[in-house]
Amino acid sequence: MVMRKKLLSYMRAQISIAIFDKMSFKNLSDKVIARVKIIVFLLAFMPLDKLLLYAYLNNLGANPIEKITRVTGYWALFFLLITLAITPIRRLTKWLWVMRLRRMLGLFAFFYGFLHFLTYLILDQFFDCEAILKDIIKRPYITIGFFAFVLMIPLAITSTDSLIRRLGGKRWRFLHRLVYLTAIAGVIHYWWLVKKDLTEPIIFAVVLTTLLGVRVFYGLKSIYKV
């Protein structure tokens, strides 16, 4: 509780600095960006913090493994969509600085996806390779979920400055379009695993369609203008 209060007051202070630092929102200074990044970084860990706290308090419910699987999977998808929202936000608001958050958000999507995968590998199946292989081959929702996760790996690896430089912007951008596939596969994964109540998968699907639709819209616009 104390930690949380401290964290909240720190964030409040940082936000007010960001606002009153006579900044326009179009561009923020490096100093402010660094602060925003810290805030986003701390915020992005909150789902994990909550999970760990609840695990410590033995408060994860009757089926803790299912709960952990659901929470990590949910946040992996959530961060994927947030990452995909960055470019549309920049276009709509002309805030250039949001781009500087994209890598971190994308890595958080990978982070939660990785935790999700580890939960399945260790907690759920406990390294039962035969069962896992069968699952991946036989169960479409696991096949596609695994596919979504695997596609994220090269993106996470090539996210460092030096690798971006070595690949070159063009090739890097091309490679990182894989994130669209990951997000689509991730949402399908969620859609297929739900027993009956599709409310949440539908929300994710609508948001994803919108985010991809915006890209198509801008793409077409640029084609027809040129």
Partner 1 sequence: MKYYKNKPISSSEITPSYLFYARRKFMQLVGGATLAAIMPSTVWANDKLSASQNVTYNLKDELTPYKDVTSYNNFYEFGTSKEDPAENAKGLKTRPWSIVVDGEVKKPKTFDIEELLKMAPLEERIYRFRCVEAWSMVIPWIGFPLNELIKQVEPTGNAKFVEFISLHDQEQMPGQKSSVLEWPYREGLRIDEAMHPLTLLTMGLYGELLPNQNGAPVRVVVPWKYGFKSPKSIVRIRFTESQPVSSWMQAGPNEYGFYSNVNPDIDHARWSQAKERRIGEFFKRKTLLLNGYAEEVAQLYAGTDINSYF
Binding site for partner 1 (CB under 8 A): 61-63, 65-66, 123, 125-126, 131, 134-135, 138-141, 192-193, 195-197, 199
Query: What minimum distance in Å lies between the beta carbon of 124 and partner 1?
Result: 8
Query: What minimum distance in Å lies between the beta carbon of 131 and partner 1?
Result: 7
Query: What minimum distance in Å lies between the beta carbon of 80 and partner 1?
Result: 23
Please state, as a whole number, how many other Cβ atoms lie within 10 Å of the Cβ of residue 36.
19
Which of 13, 198 has the CB closer to partner 1? 198
Which of 66, 114 has the CB closer to partner 1? 66
Query: What minimum distance in Å lies between the beta carbon of 194 and partner 1?
Result: 9
Which of 45, 66 has the CB closer to partner 1? 66
Which of 121, 193 has the CB closer to partner 1? 193
